[in-house]
Structure 1
Amino acid sequence: MWTLFTKALNMAPSSVQVSVINGAANLSASALLGYLVFDEPLTLRWWCGASLILAGTILLSRSQKEKTE
């Protein structure tokens, strides 16, 4: 993960974009592996929380993008 994250930071025009994608990928991978390996339930509360975390990250990235333009 760290290798791909570092490579993405070097290639992307903004580190915020990389952080948003990395956060989404980590959340998705954690959910999928938790469900498959440990048989953890993915409740509505989990999905709401994950959605709020991703929405907040996207809002922060948009506000930073607007400041730089």
Structure 2
Amino acid sequence: MPIIVNLDVMLAKRKMQLTELSGKIGITMSNLSILKTGKAKAIRFSTLEMICEILECQPADILEYVPEKESAK
């Protein structure tokens, strides 16, 4: 999949656990885990906004586009 989710990287940079983020934004651990592992098919802008607000980052810090040819390397 050409969209890479770097949520785990941002959590590490902010020294925050997934459980803490879950509690602050009101999203279940299982839904955040699906997003973190890159298995999510979609994300609501409102969810992305809350994550960015809590982690004090930009959407591009969490989502990255990597063309198929590069991701196959």
Taking structure 2 as the reference length, the TM-score comes to 0.28
Rg larger for:
1
Q: Greater helix percent: which structure?
A: 1
Bigger relative contact order, structure 1 or 2, given CA contacts below 8 A and separation 6+? 2
Taking structure 1 as the reference length, the TM-score comes to 0.29
Q: Greater strand percent: which structure?
A: 2
